[in-house]
Structure formats: C-alpha cells, structure tokens
C-alpha cells in the first residue's frame, strides 16, 4: 500500500515537471519573440497554472521538493552569473559592490521599515523585519535578464555582483531583527558585522578553492583528465560549494558565485580549455540555467496566495512604490555616488536605481519566517509577494527600454 502511494506521488511530481517543461519551452519562445525577459512570462504563466486558478501545478511552498528546486536552481543561476563576470571589470567597481551590498541593505531596511510602520500601523520592529526581508535584490532574476538584455559591462556586472553579495547581509539583518522581535536578544552591530565577515569570508574561501580545483581538473595542461566531463564537474562543484560553505555556517550562495567567477576567469589563473570543450560547457550551462529559472519562476507564480495578497494589496502597493521610488534611489546615490574611483555617470546611477528585482531570496526568507511562526510573518509574506510581482512585472519588462533611453544598451 505504501509503495503504491509513493509511486502515485512520484507520478504526480513527474507530471508536474513535464507540464512545467512543456509550458516553459513555449514561454521561452514567446519571450524571445516579443523581446521581454523570460522570467516575466514564467511568473505570469505560473500564476495561471497554480491551484488558485487552473490547478495544473500544486507543489507546496514548504515542501522538500520546492526547497530543493529553489536552492539548487538559485545556486546554478548564481554560478552562471559569476561565470559571466570579468575580473578586470570587478576591480574597477568593487567599492560600489561592497558598500551597496552592506550599507545599502541597512538603508533599504530602514526606509522601507519606516514606510511600513506608518502605512500598516504595525510595531516598528515588525516593520523593520519586513524591510529587511525584501531589501535583498535577486540574482535568479537579474542574471537571466542581463543574459538577454546586453547592458554596458560595468553596470550589468555591478548589479549582478551586488545581488549575489547582498543576500548574506539581507539574511543576517533579517534574523538579527527577528531575534529582537521575538524577545530573544538585542541587536548588536558588532555581532552583525562579525557574522557578515565570517559568512562572506568563508563563502569566498570555499568558492575560490573549489573553483580553482575544478579549473585544474578540466583545463590544466597536464591534469585536465576530466576535461571531457566538464559539465558534470561544474554540476558536482555547484552542489559541493553550496553544501560545503553551508556546513561551515557560511554563505552557500556566496561560495557558488565565487566558484563561477573563478571558473569563468580560469585564463587569468593560467588555465585554458580546448575550444570544442569550452563551447560544450557553455552550451550546457546556458541550457541548465534556462531550465532552472523556468522551474523557479513558474513555481513561484503558482504559489501566490491571492487571499492574503488581497488583504494587504492597497497598503502593500504603497509600501513597494516607496521601496522602488525612494528607498532604492536613496541607496544607490548614497552608496554608489560616493565611489569616486568608479566615476559613475548620472545615466548609470539612474539605471541601477531602477534595476533591482525582488525574487527568490526574499521569497525564501519570507517562507522561513512563516515556517518559524515569526511575529507578522503572514503580513511579511504577503507584501513580499506583492514586491516580487511589482518589481518583476514593472521593472524587468522595462529594463531594455530604459537602457536604450539612457544610452547604456549594447545593440546587437
């Protein structure tokens, strides 16, 4: 009997996967034809396929399967994003990346928290918890957007790098505020800074070591005995980097991102793959990353709770408008505008103000808060989904138009 139940559950999951792949392929083609980021179409189709509309997909947000897809999918997209970055560009803008991914999170949290305090009339600590939950930008959204919309390198790579680095700070601030809201401790700046340095440092170290080892095994002149299996090595190392860093209580996402940077810049370390093997690896990574974002955003859309969203729709809309048009611009002009070394132009700063989609990482944090029955968790989850819908549907769809207006688009 138990075996029969297990087989039926497996068949249901397999059917859901088949539906996602079929609809996702069509959505990708449509996005290509109408020239919008495919994550936008995936999200909309996911909403239509969810249990509250057609019921084609019903994978619970708190299920192990959903968490597996979110974690691995986000890791692989981060790896893809890291591999597309160039060290020479990062050397020019690293100050902006560090400041906006740390101080910027605090500014976003504070401004959004104050807005939520007055609009929702909730305790200030709960308002701050909401602010910290949605403060992080989302690499799973931004990496594919910049794959499809070619922007001036230093701008796109700064925004992508920020999105990878700030998830650590966002999680630290969120759980520090949660501890205060739950009455378990008082917020400590020294402790938060220590945790940030420790988690980021260990993540960078783990990702760097594994990236070098992977490059050694697939691209070294003498030790490249796994060069024909480069896709398998990359897949294995993405999992190893995340789990290794996580077991060290460091940022798994940071480790995966750094692994991607090292492998993507392997020539700088004296490694070079044969042209055919390099092309095979790139094609594999692009295809796998496409499948991962297809699953992530269709599932994310299918899990939208319309009942909760209706309850907070008006107030949530106001908060996210302040979030988009006040908190983010203030953050960018304070953090990036102060970087005299990068010499950002006004056009570049305006673009960075607009391009900061909310997605998987904030959704995961909101899900954790609901699972922990944190104070105000249902409200936070509702506003987080409103933020995801508004930023992806409004900001992602206008990325190319704005880049062209600002003269930052690289025409193909």
Span 23-37, pLDDT tens digits: 989 988 888 888 777
Q: Comparing C-alpha atoms, which of 207, 216, 212, 286 is closest to residue 240?
A: 207
289 within some domain: yes
Tell me if 49 sits within 8 A of 295, measured CB to CB.
no
Reported confidence tier of residue 188, pLDDT bands at 50, 70, 90: low
Residue 144: inside a domain, yes or no?
yes
Residue 349's alpha-carbon distances to 160, 213, 334, 353, in angstroms, are: 15, 37, 10, 6
User: In the predicted model, what is the mean pLDDT of residues 58-76?
Assistant: 81
Output the furthest CA–CA distance in the chain (Å, rounded).
68
Scanning the structure block, which residue is given the tokens 């409200």? Answer: 379
Whether residue 370 is predicted with pLDDT greater than 80 in this model: the reply is no
In a domain, 58, yes or no: no
* C-alpha distance from residue 188 to each of 175, 177, 333 (Å): 12, 10, 27
Q: Which of 120-129, 220-229, 261-270 has the lowest mean pLDDT?
A: 220-229
Among the listed residues 248, 239, 236, the one whose alpha carbon sits nearest the alpha carbon of residue 204: 248
Q: For the segment 4-26, what is each residue's pLDDT rounded down to a tens digit?
A: 777 888 888 888 889 999 998 99
Among 194-198, 199-203, 245-249, 254-258, where is mean pLDDT lowest? 194-198
Residue whose C-alpha is closest to residue 392's, from 367, 361, 359: 359
Q: How far apart are the first and last CA of the chain?
A: 58
CATH number at residue 175: 1.20.1530.20
Is pLDDT above 90 for 82? no
Q: Is residue 150 within 8 Å of 343, Cβ to Cβ?
A: no
Q: Is residue 34 part of a domain?
A: no
Tokens standing for 266? 């392997």
Residue 59 in domain: no
CB 134 within 8 A of CB 358: yes
**Per-residue model confidence (pLDDT) at position 327:** 94
- pLDDT, tens digit (0-9, with 9 covering 90-100), for 401-412: 999 999 888 865
Residue spans of beta strands (DSSP E) within 94-249: none
Determine, yes or no, domain membership for 111. yes
- Radius of gyration of the chain, Cα coordinates, nearest whole angstrom: 21
Residues 6 or more apart whose CB falls under 8 angstroms from that of 359 comprise: 39, 138, 140, 141, 297, 300, 388, 391, 392
Q: What is the DSSP string of 17-79?
A: HHHHHHHHHHHHHHHHHHTS-HHHHHHHHHHHHSTTTT-S----TTSHHHHHHHHHHHHHHHH
* Closest of 337, 355, 342 to residue 408, by C-alpha: 355
Side-chain half-sphere exposure of 168, counting CA atoms within 13 A: 33
φ/ψ of 225, rounded to 5, equals -70, -10
Range of the domain at 339: 70-406
Summarised one tens digit per residue, pLDDT across range 318-328 is: 999 999 999 99
Q: Are 211 and 261 in contact (CB under 8 A)?
A: yes
User: Backbone phi, then psi, for 409, in 5-degree steps?
Assistant: -80, 130
Total count of domains within the chain: 1
List, in sequence order, every residue forming a beta bridge with 409; answer none if it has no partner: 151
Q: What percent of the chain stands above pLDDT 90?
A: 17
User: Whose CA is closest to 245, among 167, 147, 180?
Assistant: 167
- 3-class SS of residue 151: strand
Q: What is the mean pLDDT of the chain?
A: 84
pLDDT of 162 strictly over 60: yes
Six token digits for residue 33: 């034809």
Cα dihedral: 16, 306, 33, 57 (round 10): 10
Alpha helix locations (H) across 223-274? Answer: 230-247, 252-264
Is 56 inside a domain boundary?
no
Are 165 and 254 within 8 A, CB to CB? yes
- Say if CB 224 and CB 172 are below 8 A apart: no
Give the confidence band of 185 by pLDDT, cuts at 50, 70, 90. Answer: low
DSSP letter at 211 equals H
Per-residue pLDDT tens for 97-151? 889 988 899 999 999 999 999 999 999 999 999 999 999 887 777 777 887 788 8
Q: Does some domain include residue 4?
A: no
pLDDT over 60 at 360, yes or no: yes
Distance CA 388, CA 375 (A): 21
- pLDDT of 412: 57
């Amino acid at each position: 009997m138990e075996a029969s139940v297990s087989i039926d559950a497996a068949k249901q999951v397999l059917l859901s996967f088949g539906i996602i792949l079929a609809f996702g392929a069509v959505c990708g083609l449509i996005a290509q034809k109408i020239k919008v980021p495919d994550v936008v179409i995936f999200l909309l189709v996911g909403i239509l396929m969810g249990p509250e509309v057609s019921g084609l997909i019903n994978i619970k947000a708190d299920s192990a399967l959903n968490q597996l897809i979110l974690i691995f999918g986000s890791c692989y997209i981060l790896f893809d994003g890291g591999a597309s970055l160039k060290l020479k560009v990062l050397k020019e803008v690293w100050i902006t990346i560090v400041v906006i991914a740390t101080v910027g999170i605090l500014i976003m949290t504070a401004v959004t928290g104050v807005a939520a305090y007055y609009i929702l009339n909730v305790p200030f600590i709960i308002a701050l918890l909401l602010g910290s939950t949605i403060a992080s930008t989302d690499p799973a959204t931004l990496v594919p957007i910049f794959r499809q919309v070619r922007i001036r390198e230093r701008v796109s790579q700064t925004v992508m790098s920020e999105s990878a680095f700030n998830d650590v700070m966002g999680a630290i601030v969120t759980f520090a505020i949660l501890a205060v809201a739950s009455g378990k401790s008082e917020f400590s700046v020294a402790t938060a800074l220590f945790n940030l340095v420790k988690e980021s440092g260990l993540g960078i170290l783990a990702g760097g070591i594994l990236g070098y080892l992977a490059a050694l095994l697939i691209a070294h002149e003498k030790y490249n005995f796994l060069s024909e299996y480069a896709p398998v090595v990359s897949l294995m190392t993405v999992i190893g980097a995340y789990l290794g860093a996580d077991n060290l209580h460091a940022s798994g996402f940071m480790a995966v991102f750094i692994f991607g940077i090292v492998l993507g810049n392997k020539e700088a370390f004296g490694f070079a793959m044969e042209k055919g093997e390099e092309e095979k690896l790139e094609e594999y990574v692009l295809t796998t990353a496409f499948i991962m974002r297809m699953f992530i955003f269709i599932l994310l859309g299918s899990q939208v709770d319309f009942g909760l969203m209706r309850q907070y729709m008006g107030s949530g809309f106001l908060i996210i408008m302040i979030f988009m048009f006040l908190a983010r611009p203030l953050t960018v002009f304070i953090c990036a505008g102060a970087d005299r070394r990068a010499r950002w132009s006004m056009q570049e700063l305006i673009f960075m103000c607009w391009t900061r989609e909310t997605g998987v990482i904030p959704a995961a944090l909101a899900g954790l808060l609901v699972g922990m029955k944190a104070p105000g968790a249902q409200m936070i989850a509702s506003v987080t989904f409103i933020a995801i819908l508004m930023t992806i549907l409004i900001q992602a769809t206008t990325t190319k138009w704005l880049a062209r207006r600002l003269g930052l688009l690289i025409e193909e």
